[in-house]
Structure 1
Amino acid sequence: MGAFLDKPRTEKHNLHDEGNGLRYGLSSMQGWRVEMEDAHTAVLGLPAPGMTDWSFFAVYDGHAGSKVANYCSKHLLEHIMSASLGTHGPPAGPDGSTGDPPALAPPTVENIKTGIRTGFLKIDEHMRSFSDLRNGMDRSGSTAVGILMSPEHFFFVNCGDSRGVLYRNSNVCFSTLDHKPCNPRERERIQNAGGSVMIQRVNGSLAVSRALGDYDYKCVDGKGPTEQLVSPEPEVYEMVRAPIQDQFIVLACDGIWDVMTNEELCEFVKSRLEVSDDLERVCNEVVDTCLHKGSRDNMSVVLVCLPNAPKVSEEAVRKDAELNKYMESRVEEMLSRPGEEGFPDLVAVMRSLSTDIGMPPLPPGGGLASKRSVIEAVYNRLNPYREEDGNGAELEYHW
């Protein structure tokens, strides 16, 4: 849970698709962690009569293992739908099997809001029956942040410290609230359950106060599931869609939010959408930039673009190309005149560029970190003495 690699793993998992009047892209990367514990869900068109124009997206940030996150990514939606639609039938078992299709009832806004909450509590109760989770052989847990989208409404859902934001009318108009142990409401519940908050963690250990799984923190006698040290209860936020103003939605784990604010991330995404309509590329730039800003965690981001999302601009493309060309020429200049100690290392190159007052404007929110790959490509091409063995990797990534 706290172990790190000597060098980050930067291979990425990507997906993209479009439908229901929206496009989405996603990217996830292991980074410095010894294990990839994040998971995600992306569904265009829900498998229920009358709900083919609904969509669901979610990010799950696992900890102490990946089992809970992976199971929720496959089955949380069915628990939510079962509760929201008034269906009856057995939930999926550990092997993913289900019973016969249940009868359906038409959803209402209140059905959905109640169903989301019930679905979280039900899947948490259901996973507890798995022998390795019940017997303590697997102590994993997971946050969950998601959005259920109907043609008229957004239902943002959050349990833990992953976060979802809505960018509307060129502003961050909504953000879910992180569930941290030091929040007064969360602290009160923890203390009422006999626990404590130390170093901003539940009993000095767990950094989130709500999560799925984490059954070591859910065994206080006489307390219900939402009264335990760690609660599986989500907060549900309903919003009426504004088709003319709504631009995009970002869901991401704390590996992203640790190094970017809501405004920084959204402004960065906006600037990248003006340069490229490839949503996988935009999401990859987000996780790479967060890595170069110093994130040490797994990183996952889902970007959902609505019809009024920023479009590619010829001027933005031109300015981005000019910026890249300027940085390439500056790196070439630095490497063409080695000093007394030889060629400057990459850290020195980055530091020099960070104080360059003649540089064209950098991408908002991303800064120089968002151009690390451009700089590194030129540096590696021109420096014949660069090391290939990964020595100093951490220093390079935290220049």
Structure 2
Amino acid sequence: MGAFLDKPKMEKQNAHGEGNDLRYGLSSMQGWRVEMEDAHTAVIGLPCGLRPWSFFAVYDGHAGSQVARYSCEHLLEHITSNPDFQGNAEPQVQADGAGDGAKEMEVEEPSVDQVKVGIRTGFLQIDEHMRQISENRKGSGSTDRSGSTAVCVMVSPQHVFFINCGDSRGLLSRGGTVHFFTHDHKPSNPLEKERIQNAGGSVMIQRVNGSLAVSRALGDFDYKCVHGKGPTEQLVSPEPDVCAVERSEVEDEFIVLACDGIWDVMANEELCDFVRSRLEVTDDLEKICNEVVDTCLYKGSRDNMSVVLVCFSGAPKVSAEAVKREQELDKYLESRVEEILKQNGEEGVPDMVHVMRTLASENIPNLPPGGELASKRSVVEAVYNKLNPFRNDDTESLTPLSWKQGKEKSS
């Protein structure tokens, strides 16, 4: 299940980049967990002559971070280097403009079917490779029992290939709505449950053998040792779902990849609406991703949190009107916090739970859709700390359960 800290670790790992008419940003935060088990990949321009292609992924590790880290570093190589992905394309030497020799090796782009088959082969190959590494370590007593989900996108000039193995999730926003999203691999899913039972396992409390919460993953080799069954027939399968979505240059807005620490507290539409509203007030994709993980923390997520945001040229642009609304909202919240503190002056300074509970009971206009008051907690906290600089850290107010349900702070 995983253990928790007394106070969340809110330091973030960030990255951003651009190329191939894409911009991306990412954020990763440990949160309440005692260990950071997530990993991520962002590559603009793929090897094997596929410079116009890009690859992004989020890996959510469990029972350790080893599989997530190894997949982060090697999965793309396993996909692009296998013959199924490359097909029968022959490398061609392109002469440079000055006639001074070979400029670079280029290959014919693989077909949609080749990409799908190659991705599946790459997943099975890396899983078997990690199994062999784990087997070789058994003698030293350092067997790796960790596993990891993987949600990825491979973006070509014509398609977006969504790749999912586990319960991390990816989605595409097109024309202002959720156009596509991956489906989580949970043991309670009828097809997943059938495979588990055929392999001699069971689904209890919505977990494989009452323990593992995902039915597909890389690693987790304790669940992949049923004799007479192939790799995709085990209790836990490493086989990904791969779906090719044709790109729409005009309507495609952005892709979001995130682990279940995000999806546990935000629905597809909520996260899409929130990201879209943030894109209208800033073009800093790292900042938007940071706001996503902070908002999910304040909404009550107890897990590691990682999110990758990939924007197409059709993504919402910064709007002067939206920026003005945001500034007005922040000023309103600042003034309300001051009023709440003054109103309780004779009774002593109220804690953050009281402040958040009071604001939650009010009808505040123009709160960011999907994020609501949780997305503005940092604004509230900044004013609160300025007016009450000697307060003790109040971790209880980090969860909305205390202020939404009127729970009194324990003494």
TM (norm. structure 2) is 0.90
CA drift at 1:325: 0.2
One-letter code of the match for 2:380?
I
Distance, in Å, in 1 between the alignment partners of 2:365 and 2:174 is: 28
One-letter code of the match for 1:318?
K
Q: What whole-Å deviation, never above 9, does each CA across 1:126-173 have from its counterpart, x for those lacking one?
A: 001114786362210000000001100111000000000000000001
One-letter code of the match for 2:391?
R
Cα gap change, 1:346 to 1:132, in 2 (>3 Å) = farther
- Choose from 228, 232, 246 the match for 1:226: 232
CA drift at 1:63: 0.3
Q: Which residue number corresponds to residue 94 of structure 1? A: none
Q: Percent identity?
A: 70
Cα gap change, 1:276 to 1:133, in 2 (>3 Å) = farther
Distance, in Å, in 1 between the alignment partners of 2:389 and 2:183 is: 49
CA drift at 1:104: 6.7
Distance, in Å, in 1 between the alignment partners of 2:308 and 2:109 is: 29
Q: What whole-Å deviation, never above 9, does each CA across 1:68-118 have from its counterpart, x for those lacking one?
A: 00000111001110121159xxxxxxxxxxxxxx99775211111100000
TM (norm. structure 1) is 0.92
Give 5+ residue unaligned stretches, structure 2: 89-104, 403-411
Pairwise mapping of residues 1-399 of structure 1 onto structure 2 (< 5 A)? Answer: 1-49=1-49, 51-83=50-82, 84-86=85-87, 106-131=109-134, 135=138, 137-357=143-363, 359-387=364-392, 390=393, 392-398=394-400, 399=402
Q: Structure 1 runs of 4+ off > 4 angstroms?
A: 102-106
Is the contact made by 1:335 and 1:383 (CA closer than 8 Å) also made in structure 2? no
Q: Which residue number corresponds to residue 91 of structure 1? A: none
One-letter code of the match for 1:235?
D
CA drift at 1:48: 1.7
Distance, in Å, in 2 between the alignment partners of 1:376 and 1:244 is: 40
CA drift at 1:335: 1.5
One-letter code of the match for 1:245?
E
Distance, in Å, in 2 between the alignment partners of 1:216 and 1:42 is: 30
Cα gap change, 1:39 to 1:396, in 2 (>3 Å) = closer
One-letter code of the match for 1:31?
G
Distance, in Å, in 2 between the alignment partners of 1:45 and 1:24 is: 13
Distance, in Å, in 2 between the alignment partners of 1:12 and 1:385 is: 25
CA drift at 1:361: 1.8
Q: What whole-Å deviation, never above 9, does each CA across 1:32-82 have from its counterpart, x for those lacking one?
A: 000000000000000222x10000000000000000000001110011101
Give 5+ residue unaligned stretches, structure 1: 88-101
CA drift at 1:20: 0.2
Aligned residues: 381
One-letter code of the match for 1:119?
G
Please give the root-mean-square deviation of Cα atoms over the aligned residues, in Å.
Answer: 1.8
Q: Which residue number corresponds to residue 90 of structure 1? A: none
Is the contact made by 2:23 and 2:311 (CA closer than 8 Å) also made in structure 1? yes
